[in-house]
Amino acid sequence: MLIIDNMFGFPKITRPEDFHYKSNFLKSVIFQVKYDRQYDVCGKKEDIKKLVGRRFKNFKDIITGEVQFSFQDKTPILDSKSSSVEGIEFQSERKLEVLGVTEEAITLTIIGAGYVNFSGVQDLIESCINELLKLIGIKDINRLAIRKINTIEVIPKQEMRKYDVMKEIYNKVLIDGISYFPAINQLEHHFNNNTFISKPYQLNLNYGALRSDSSKWSFLLDIDLFRLERGLESNNILEEFVLINNEVFNIFNWCLLESIKESLNEKE
């Protein structure tokens, strides 16, 4: 597998190996590997439970179903056509980690309060995702992704404009374009969706002011970065996750102003 160190040209940020902020803006962090739908994942359900059961005590089947419309006396009726077990979902005792194993993907989701840094989840990647790939017999994967969803919440003061708050949060490059809008003083919602491709990587970068009530405003920074390539070797996923995580950190640092990032170390 070809390892590409410089994906999208964001300035590289050096940091100590176990670096982390005292707090974070994260709503969730998602690690995912996808593979072709050709493995009997559900047939190995009991073995999967044994493998991850010590780390994830709670579990349930993932059910998928089909529905169909019919009409009775000209009234549309929605009926369940069929359903099947697609996989299994595990939840940790503290309910901050969720592991989903399906016929086409393994997804590890960590709620923001449970995430410290990448080093803190490396063991989960090795002991769960890596071992599950071996157990199921998956040697090649076609998508490997990290997604970090950040929300910055602000309690507005009287006469405060949302655009003024955005200027205190985001890199000037990200929001300069909307400053020329005649109605900038009345801005309530601004969402910017960007996709960048540097094969075999794709970056979906979303940010802006979310719809919110007058008592609390929320601002989004959603970084979704993945390697999309058929035939990725499953035994190299940790190395690839490290590279992707480093680039996500570079993007996070470029998108936000220093004052906002410094506030993460002021909170206890």
pTM, rounded to two decimals: 0.90
Residue 202 falls within a domain, yes or no?
A: yes
Q: How many domains does the chain have?
A: 1
How far apart, in whole angstroms, are the C-alpha atoms of residue 241 and residue 134?
A: 17
Q: If you average pLDDT over every residue of the chain, what do you get?
A: 89
Which residue range is the domain that position 209 belongs to? 26-263
User: Do 105 and 86 form a contact (C-beta atoms < 8 A)?
Assistant: no
Provide φ and ψ at 173, rounded to 5°: -60, -35
What are the tens digits of pLDDT across the range 46-55?
A: 999 999 998 9
Residue 50 falls within a domain, yes or no?
A: yes
What are the tens digits of pLDDT across the range 31-41?
A: 999 999 999 99
Residue 92 falls within a domain, yes or no?
A: yes
Residue 87 falls within a domain, yes or no?
A: yes
Residue 8 falls within a domain, yes or no?
A: no
Residue 13 falls within a domain, yes or no?
A: no
CA angle at 216 for the pair 215 and 219, rounded to the nearest 5°:
155
Residue 216 falls within a domain, yes or no?
A: yes
DSSP annotation of 247 reads H
pLDDT at residue 1, as a whole number? 44
In this predicted structure, the answer to whether residue 82 has a pLDDT above a threshold of 90 is no
Q: Which of 28-42, 79-93, 97-111, 158-172 has the lowest mean pLDDT?
A: 79-93
Residue 130 falls within a domain, yes or no?
A: yes
How far apart, in whole angstroms, are the C-alpha atoms of residue 56 and residue 120?
A: 16
Q: Which of 29-33, 50-54, 59-63, 158-162 has the lowest mean pLDDT?
A: 158-162
